Structure 1
Amino acid sequence: MASSEEILFHLSEKIDFMQVHLASASSATRRSLESGLEQLRAAGGRVTSGEAWEAARQRWHLLAAATADRWQHVRETAGQFNLQEFIEKARFLVLTDVSTIHVGLLGAGFGAGLLVGYLLGRRRRASPLGRPALMRAVVCCGYQGLDDVLLVEDQPRPEIVTPHEVLVRVKAAAVDRVDLRIASGYGRTLRRQTNKYNPHVTSELPVVLGRDLAGVVDQVGPEVTLWEVGDPVWAAVPFWRPGTLAEFVVLDEKELCRKPDGVTFERAAALPYSATVAWDALVTQAGFGPDVAPDKRVLVHAGASGVGLVALQLIKTWGGHVTTTVATRLVPLARMLGADDVIEYDTADLEKELSLRDKFDVVLNTAGPSLHAACLRHCADSGLVVTTVEAALPSDRYGFVLGSLYALWVRLSRLAGQLLFLPESWGTVTFSPETLAQLGVLVDARELQAVVEHTFDWQDADAALQYMARGDAVGKPVVRFRHTDAQPRPATPL
């Protein structure tokens, strides 16, 4: 163990070492301060003596002299320019070295550039100033099914962005089976890509549900010529677009059609989407119509669905023979709408009943893939099987690489469609006011009826979705919006 003398000796050494270092640091600090003060005094001396000002003045004179020299050179060059000689040389070049093809390609490129710039400018995103107005809507905030469906009162109200848009005050909107699939993620990739070009959408979620609407025009863009404020309209939108279960919806003026006068807003709202799908299946795919349908045998599976009810009535209106499958409780409804033959699928042996009948010229499958094999068995050799159930989209399962290529394909397809003035369909049914106008004529003539078993107020919209999810709904449930402000708002210039 060290003695006290050794401890004191070591402490003394450490104290001496610290004193030396402190003295060294103090000396270094003092020298640094003295050097800084000396530099400041020297700089101040140069300023007070005018040395710095003289150096700045010399730099300024050199810069002015260089600028004057450059300007003189530009003037001399411009003075030597002979406009007549330039025109003659350009004319000689065009006549000898430039062909008509070159001129045509130059003009075509310039025109294409102007057109693309114009179209992109028309579709530019707009950022409205101030806090947006809010509205009530039915949305899905995720893709986990009905658990992610919400009734919200703070959804931003869409505003007119382009001159040909119309703001519609929705009176009623219907719930479709595809809305249940959207809430589970159907079409999410395509929707995410197309939303990039939609100025009314700022994020992937939430997604407004609903595919049909009936309402009145609330505002019109400055270049709208087809509609006026207060006009009653109806419309349908595809699954990859924002939905209609909201108090207000913005659409292009060419996407709207005048609502038939003979039906209420609630009944009108149940038709546009389902009726367009049924029309596409029968007319576009099966080639049916008033001239073809007579004496043709058609089987409509799930005749009480939204599409089935419309298809059944259209075939009877055109003179065809209709066999349909419905639940026992709905047999009177099917008979009332004109079905010639009704099979009760919940009590009878469906396969046996169909085997007892002659094969059909057209089989319309509105139920789903589970019946596809049976549809083929009961279709005539020269017949046709048409399905109205949306097929699964491979793009919903794409990863990063395929997703990037898909995004590029969507962009190129949209650009080509805009250049050729083609409607966006993405391989699905094309929803057009021309189809709705033909359906409206049938509605006014009482040859096509809207069947609505239940109508729900907005605050009960979740019950409408649950009702549709049960699988035994008649037609489609309709959600009604009661607006506190019944007066249309005046149009505002863009």
Structure 2
Amino acid sequence: MDEVVLHLTQKIELLQVWLREVVQKGKDFVDTASQEIITSENFILAEEYLKDIITRLINRGTLTACCFGFTVGSGVGLALGFCLQSTSKPIYMMRAVAATNFTGPDGVAVLEDVPVPSVKLPDQILVEVRYATFCQTDLRIASGYARVLRSILDPSAEPAVILGRSGSGTIVEVGGSVNGYDPGDKVIFWCPIWKKGCLSQYVLLSSWQVAPLPKGVSLEDGAWSAYPSVLSWKFLNDS
């Protein structure tokens, strides 16, 4: 048994010596080959050849063309990005008092998530409401009054009908064909029974529903007198 162990030990020692010699010879070969390649004339010629190719390729004309292409490409990319980006406006929410199920006063509720309307037609005016009225007509609408008329003349007023027949406020936006009104103007307005009312933070109106706030009249006083005032204003201006 001892002879076997001794024999194996000798073999292992010989193997270790042989591996050391192989590793050392490999390192010597790599060092010698690297030195020969670096100092050889062929490598120098190859290096000069590569430098010559790079110099020919990267000249002033090439650099100018690259810069021009980069600039044009960037401009085209930005233009496409602006064209393809969404142009839709963000939707904001407002509060409104509306008839939700036409069961009378019990069906009237304060809605917290009504989309703020936006001007889409040339004769429309968007107003930020300051004061609005609630009258007997609104109670009748809450019980189902004029539903058929609204379904014919203004289907967008359903299903939850915003109440409020007259009011006052400040213009936020006007359509392209609206004359005599600008954002920031104080106005009074009325809402017929077939349209959405004005018991909301914003109301979208046609220009014929609006009249300037009379001089010396407050927004509060103008709100309750808006219905006869707007009709009188339209009559005087159309006659």
Decide: shared fold, TM above 0.5.
yes
TM-score (norm 1): 0.29
Q: Distance in 2 between matches of 1:226 and 1:160?
A: 17
Paired position in structure 2 for 1:374 = none
Asked whether the 8 Å contact 1:227–1:253 carries over to 2, the reply is: no
Q: Distance in 2 between matches of 1:272 and 1:165?
A: 18
Report how many residues are paired. 151
Encode CA deviations 1:94-113: one digit per residue, 9 max, x unaligned.
xxxxxxxxxxxxxxxxxxxx
Give the alignment's Cα RMSD to 1 decimal: 2.3
Letter in 1 for 2:160: P
- Percent of residue pairs bearing the same amino acid type: 35
5 Å-filtered alignment, 1:466-485, equals: none
Encode CA deviations 1:412-452: one digit per residue, 9 max, x unaligned.
xxxxxxxxxxxxxxxxxx94642588xxxxxxxxxxxxxxx
Paired position in structure 2 for 1:136 = 95
Asked whether the 8 Å contact 1:133–1:156 carries over to 2, the reply is: yes
Q: 1:434 aligns with which of 196, 218, 234?
A: 234
Asked whether the 8 Å contact 1:257–1:436 carries over to 2, the reply is: no
Shift of 1:253: 2.4
Letter in 2 for 1:194: L
Q: Distance in 2 between matches of 1:267 and 1:431?
A: 16
Following TM superposition, the consecutive aligned residue runs of length 4 or more in structure 1 with deviations greater than 6 angstroms are none
Q: Which runs of 5+ in 1 are unaligned?
A: 1-127, 277-429, 438-494
Asked whether the 8 Å contact 2:127–2:172 carries over to 1, the reply is: yes
Q: Secondary structure at the match of 1:189?
A: helix
Are 1:150 and 2:104 counterparts?
no
Paired position in structure 1 for 2:122 = 163
5 Å-filtered alignment, 1:14-413, equals: 129=88, 132-196=91-155, 201=156, 204-273=158-227, 275=228
Distance 1:436 1:251, change over 3 A: farther
Q: Distance in 2 between matches of 1:183 and 1:158?
A: 22
Paired position in structure 2 for 1:454 = none
Q: Distance in 2 between matches of 1:193 and 1:142?
A: 19
Q: Secondary structure at the match of 1:254?
A: helix
Q: Distance in 2 between matches of 1:134 and 1:190?
A: 27
Q: Distance in 1 between matches of 2:108 and 2:236?
A: 29
Q: Distance in 1 between matches of 2:119 and 2:232?
A: 20
Q: Distance in 2 between matches of 1:251 and 1:436?
A: 20
Q: Which runs of 5+ in 2 are unaligned?
A: 1-86
Letter in 1 for 2:124: E
Asked whether the 8 Å contact 2:208–2:234 carries over to 1, the reply is: no
Asked whether the 8 Å contact 1:165–1:220 carries over to 2, the reply is: yes
Q: Secondary structure at the match of 1:217?
A: strand
Shift of 1:135: 0.8
Q: Distance in 1 between matches of 2:235 and 2:226?
A: 9
Q: Distance in 2 between matches of 1:172 and 1:165?
A: 20
Encode CA deviations 1:17-57: one digit per residue, 9 max, x unaligned.
xxxxxxxxxxxxxxxxxxxxxxxxxxxxxxxxxxxxxxxxx
Letter in 2 for 1:152: L
Q: Distance in 2 between matches of 1:156 and 1:431?
A: 29
